[in-house]
Copies of this chain bind each other. A is one copy, B any other.
Amino acid sequence: MTTANGERRRGRRPGGTDTRTALLTAAREVFTEQGYDGATVRAIARKAGVDAAMVNHWFGGKEALFAEAVLQLPFNPRERIAEVLGGGDPATLGERIVRTFLTIWDAHGGGVFAALIRSVAAHEQVANALRQFFHDNVFSQFAGVAEDHGELRANLVASQMIGLGVVRYVARFDPITTSDAEAVVKAVGPTLQRYLTGPLD
Protein backbone atom coordinates (compact mmCIF):
# COMPACT_ATOMS: atom_id res chain seq x y z
CA MET A 1 0.00 0.00 0.00
CA THR A 2 1.51 3.30 -1.09
CA THR A 3 0.35 6.44 0.70
CA ALA A 4 -0.63 9.64 -1.08
CA ASN A 5 2.83 11.12 -0.61
CA GLY A 6 4.59 8.08 -1.98
CA GLU A 7 5.58 6.41 1.28
CA ARG A 8 5.27 2.67 1.44
CA ARG A 9 4.75 2.01 5.13
CA ARG A 10 1.97 -0.46 5.71
CA GLY A 11 1.90 -2.34 2.46
CA ARG A 12 3.72 -5.65 1.98
CA ARG A 13 7.23 -5.19 0.72
CA PRO A 14 8.75 -7.47 -1.84
CA GLY A 15 11.25 -9.94 -0.37
CA GLY A 16 14.75 -8.44 -0.39
CA THR A 17 17.32 -6.56 1.63
CA ASP A 18 14.94 -3.75 2.46
CA THR A 19 12.58 -6.32 4.00
CA ARG A 20 15.41 -7.57 6.15
CA THR A 21 16.36 -4.05 7.22
CA ALA A 22 12.73 -3.13 7.90
CA LEU A 23 12.35 -6.21 10.08
CA LEU A 24 15.48 -5.35 12.08
CA THR A 25 14.27 -1.80 12.68
CA ALA A 26 10.78 -2.92 13.63
CA ALA A 27 12.15 -5.69 15.87
CA ARG A 28 14.37 -3.25 17.80
CA GLU A 29 11.30 -1.11 18.54
CA VAL A 30 8.91 -3.92 19.43
CA PHE A 31 11.41 -5.88 21.57
CA THR A 32 12.40 -2.86 23.62
CA GLU A 33 8.77 -1.79 24.06
CA GLN A 34 7.29 -5.23 24.79
CA GLY A 35 10.21 -7.30 26.07
CA TYR A 36 11.30 -10.60 24.56
CA ASP A 37 8.32 -12.68 25.66
CA GLY A 38 5.75 -9.96 24.93
CA ALA A 39 6.95 -9.23 21.40
CA THR A 40 5.29 -11.39 18.76
CA VAL A 41 6.60 -12.18 15.31
CA ARG A 42 3.23 -11.02 13.99
CA ALA A 43 3.56 -7.57 15.67
CA ILE A 44 7.10 -7.10 14.37
CA ALA A 45 6.11 -8.08 10.84
CA ARG A 46 3.09 -5.78 10.96
CA LYS A 47 5.25 -2.85 12.06
CA ALA A 48 7.72 -3.63 9.27
CA GLY A 49 4.88 -3.86 6.78
CA VAL A 50 5.81 -7.39 5.66
CA ASP A 51 4.36 -10.87 5.94
CA ALA A 52 5.14 -12.73 9.17
CA ALA A 53 6.64 -15.56 7.13
CA MET A 54 9.50 -13.19 6.23
CA VAL A 55 10.83 -13.48 9.81
CA ASN A 56 11.45 -17.18 9.34
CA HIS A 57 12.71 -16.63 5.82
CA TRP A 58 15.30 -14.00 6.77
CA PHE A 59 16.23 -14.92 10.34
CA GLY A 60 15.02 -18.44 11.02
CA GLY A 61 12.88 -17.36 13.97
CA LYS A 62 12.19 -14.94 16.78
CA GLU A 63 15.30 -15.64 18.90
CA ALA A 64 17.69 -15.17 16.00
CA LEU A 65 15.93 -11.94 15.05
CA PHE A 66 16.27 -10.72 18.65
CA ALA A 67 19.96 -11.65 18.75
CA GLU A 68 20.67 -9.70 15.59
CA ALA A 69 18.32 -6.73 16.14
CA VAL A 70 18.73 -6.01 19.85
CA LEU A 71 21.85 -7.77 21.06
CA GLN A 72 23.44 -7.19 17.64
CA LEU A 73 25.44 -10.35 18.14
CA PRO A 74 27.58 -11.40 15.18
CA PHE A 75 26.50 -15.03 15.66
CA ASN A 76 23.51 -17.09 16.82
CA PRO A 77 24.14 -17.89 20.49
CA ARG A 78 21.58 -20.69 20.61
CA GLU A 79 23.26 -22.55 17.78
CA ARG A 80 26.81 -22.02 19.03
CA ILE A 81 25.91 -23.21 22.53
CA ALA A 82 24.16 -26.27 21.10
CA GLU A 83 27.34 -27.09 19.14
CA VAL A 84 29.57 -26.78 22.21
CA LEU A 85 27.25 -28.76 24.47
CA GLY A 86 26.53 -31.38 21.84
CA GLY A 87 30.01 -32.56 20.90
CA GLY A 88 33.12 -33.68 22.70
CA ASP A 89 34.24 -35.10 26.02
CA PRO A 90 31.98 -33.98 28.92
CA ALA A 91 35.13 -33.56 31.04
CA THR A 92 36.40 -30.76 28.78
CA LEU A 93 33.08 -28.92 28.51
CA GLY A 94 34.31 -25.95 30.58
CA GLU A 95 37.36 -25.46 28.41
CA ARG A 96 35.33 -25.75 25.21
CA ILE A 97 32.89 -23.08 26.36
CA VAL A 98 35.73 -20.64 27.11
CA ARG A 99 37.49 -21.45 23.82
CA THR A 100 34.33 -20.90 21.78
CA PHE A 101 33.58 -17.63 23.59
CA LEU A 102 37.10 -16.27 22.99
CA THR A 103 37.22 -17.46 19.38
CA ILE A 104 34.00 -15.62 18.57
CA TRP A 105 34.69 -12.37 20.41
CA ASP A 106 38.42 -12.14 19.65
CA ALA A 107 37.47 -12.31 15.97
CA HIS A 108 35.21 -9.28 16.40
CA GLY A 109 37.70 -7.21 18.32
CA GLY A 110 35.51 -6.85 21.37
CA GLY A 111 33.77 -3.69 20.14
CA VAL A 112 30.49 -5.53 19.73
CA PHE A 113 30.80 -6.94 23.24
CA ALA A 114 31.38 -3.45 24.65
CA ALA A 115 28.33 -2.14 22.79
CA LEU A 116 26.22 -4.94 24.24
CA ILE A 117 27.33 -4.23 27.82
CA ARG A 118 26.78 -0.50 27.32
CA SER A 119 23.28 -1.13 26.01
CA VAL A 120 22.35 -3.48 28.86
CA ALA A 121 23.72 -1.11 31.50
CA ALA A 122 22.02 1.95 29.99
CA HIS A 123 18.54 0.68 29.15
CA GLU A 124 16.31 -1.18 31.56
CA GLN A 125 14.24 -2.54 28.64
CA VAL A 126 17.31 -4.03 26.98
CA ALA A 127 18.31 -5.64 30.29
CA ASN A 128 14.78 -7.06 30.60
CA ALA A 129 14.81 -8.38 27.06
CA LEU A 130 18.29 -9.85 27.51
CA ARG A 131 17.19 -11.61 30.70
CA GLN A 132 14.21 -13.20 28.97
CA PHE A 133 16.29 -14.17 25.97
CA PHE A 134 18.99 -15.78 28.10
CA HIS A 135 16.36 -17.60 30.12
CA ASP A 136 14.65 -19.04 27.06
CA ASN A 137 17.63 -19.71 24.81
CA VAL A 138 20.83 -19.94 26.82
CA PHE A 139 20.16 -21.04 30.38
CA SER A 140 17.78 -23.78 29.32
CA GLN A 141 20.57 -25.39 27.32
CA PHE A 142 23.14 -25.18 30.12
CA ALA A 143 20.56 -26.34 32.64
CA GLY A 144 20.01 -29.38 30.43
CA VAL A 145 23.55 -30.67 31.05
CA ALA A 146 23.42 -30.14 34.83
CA GLU A 147 22.06 -32.79 37.20
CA ASP A 148 20.76 -30.26 39.72
CA HIS A 149 20.39 -26.51 40.25
CA GLY A 150 20.36 -26.03 36.49
CA GLU A 151 19.37 -22.36 36.45
CA LEU A 152 21.83 -21.40 39.19
CA ARG A 153 24.64 -23.24 37.39
CA ALA A 154 23.78 -21.47 34.13
CA ASN A 155 23.78 -18.10 35.97
CA LEU A 156 27.22 -18.86 37.40
CA VAL A 157 28.57 -19.71 33.93
CA ALA A 158 27.12 -16.45 32.63
CA SER A 159 28.70 -14.48 35.48
CA GLN A 160 32.18 -15.78 34.69
CA MET A 161 31.90 -15.39 30.91
CA ILE A 162 30.39 -11.90 31.05
CA GLY A 163 33.08 -10.82 33.52
CA LEU A 164 35.79 -12.32 31.33
CA GLY A 165 34.38 -10.37 28.38
CA VAL A 166 34.29 -7.11 30.35
CA VAL A 167 37.88 -7.54 31.54
CA ARG A 168 39.29 -8.66 28.16
CA TYR A 169 37.31 -6.40 25.81
CA VAL A 170 35.89 -3.42 27.74
CA ALA A 171 38.07 -2.55 30.76
CA ARG A 172 41.06 -4.22 29.00
CA PHE A 173 42.98 -5.28 32.09
CA ASP A 174 46.49 -6.64 31.61
CA PRO A 175 47.46 -9.47 31.25
CA ILE A 176 44.02 -10.96 30.47
CA THR A 177 43.60 -8.70 27.43
CA THR A 178 46.95 -9.64 25.91
CA SER A 179 47.00 -13.29 26.99
CA ASP A 180 46.95 -16.07 24.47
CA ALA A 181 43.41 -17.48 24.31
CA GLU A 182 44.60 -20.98 25.30
CA ALA A 183 46.16 -19.68 28.54
CA VAL A 184 42.79 -18.17 29.44
CA VAL A 185 41.05 -21.43 28.47
CA LYS A 186 43.27 -23.36 30.89
CA ALA A 187 42.75 -20.87 33.70
CA VAL A 188 38.99 -20.35 33.38
CA GLY A 189 37.87 -23.73 31.97
CA PRO A 190 37.93 -25.52 35.37
CA THR A 191 35.69 -22.80 36.83
CA LEU A 192 32.96 -23.51 34.27
CA GLN A 193 33.45 -27.25 34.62
CA ARG A 194 32.76 -26.98 38.35
CA TYR A 195 29.83 -24.57 37.85
CA LEU A 196 28.18 -27.06 35.47
CA THR A 197 29.04 -30.42 37.01
CA GLY A 198 30.77 -29.96 40.40
CA PRO A 199 29.55 -29.38 43.95
CA LEU A 200 28.25 -25.86 44.64
CA ASP A 201 28.53 -25.84 48.44
A residues neighboring B (CB under 8 Å): 114, 117-118, 120-122, 127, 130-131, 134-135, 139, 151-152, 155-156, 158-164, 166-168, 170-176, 179, 183, 186-188, 190-191, 194-195, 200-201
Contacts and interface: CB of A to CB of B under 8 A. Distances in A.
Query: How many copies of this chain are found per oligomer?
Result: 2
A134 to B, nearest CB: 6
Nearest to A156: B187
A122 B183 CA distance: 29
Given A183-B201, A191-B191, A152 B171 contact: no
Contact of A194 (B120, B172, B190): B190
A121 B135 CA distance: 24
Contact of A162 (B120, B167, B200): B167
A155 B172 CA distance: 10
B155 A159 contact: no
Contacts of A190: 194
Contact of A155 (B121, B130, B158, B176): B176
A118 B116 CA distance: 11
A171 B131 contact: yes
